[in-house]
Amino acid sequence: MKNESKRMIDRSEASSALADIAEIGARVRQSLFYRRTSAMLILWGALTFAGYLGMFVAPSFSRCAWIAIMILGICGSVVIGMVSAKRQGVNNFSARLLVAFLVFIAFGLIWSVALGGFSARQLGAFWTSYFMLPYILLGLWLGWAFVAIGLSVMALTFAGYFYAGDWFPLWMAFVNGIGLILGGLWMRRS
């Protein structure tokens, strides 16, 4: 009777069980990544909504408001990353990723501010599409939710740029700001 309860598994069963465990681990990692990213999308969506709404209501203060929004967004993203790492028990800070992000921002600033001489409307379209491009590219590896969010926001940005007229900042408050919030909420379900 004891021998019946101690059945050995063969190599193919062990391999299948390990593959199942690896698949579950990958799904858990993706879920945790989506949860952290969704919190950042919601944060940036709320800040972006406020920035474009402020730009629509009081355009003369928009430059200072956008600087404050960027500082708040970066600080908030760092806090979300730290809290997420603490909850998961894993420090996933990457100096290379931070440097890549800073190079990305510097490149955008050089082209949009130093070389471009863009109007406020052009800056709104540039920065939104510039930030959505990495979402689309990362989505090819990290999940189709990123691709869908990036393409949707980018397409609506271009539509608003050409057709919204003086309502462009208000259009962008909803397309970019609310779009990011909805994308963040959608990612929580993925």
φ, ψ dihedrals at 180, nearest 5°: -65, -40
Which pLDDT value is given to residue 93?
60
153 and 44 Cβ atoms separated by less than 8 Å: no
User: Would you state the structure tokens that stand for residue 56, as one six-digit string?
Assistant: 């629509």
Which pLDDT value is given to residue 172?
94
Which pLDDT value is given to residue 186?
80
Which pLDDT value is given to residue 115?
85
Q: How many residues does the chain have?
A: 190
Q: What single-letter amino acid sits at 92? A: N
**Residues ≥6 apart with Cβ < 8 Å to 51:** 62, 65, 66, 69, 173, 177
Q: Using CA atoms, how far apart are residues 17 and 121, in angstroms rounded to an integer?
A: 55
180 and 41 Cβ atoms separated by less than 8 Å: yes
Which residue in this structure is represented by tokens 């690896």?
22
**Closest of 140, 170, 144 to residue 156, by C-alpha:** 170
- In the predicted model, residues of the chain with pLDDT beneath 70 are 1-6, 26-32, 88-94, 190
pLDDT tens digits, residue range 64-79? 888 899 899 988 988 8
pLDDT tens digits, residue range 82-120? 787 777 666 666 677 778 878 888 898 888 878 878 888
Which pLDDT value is given to residue 21?
81
Q: Residue 145: how many CB atoms within 10 A of its CB?
A: 21
Q: Using CA atoms, how far apart are residues 178 and 187, in angstroms rounded to an integer?
A: 14
**Closest of 76, 83, 32, 47 to residue 180, by C-alpha:** 47
Which pLDDT value is given to residue 116?
78
User: Would you state the structure tokens that stand for residue 68, as one six-digit string?
Assistant: 């404050």
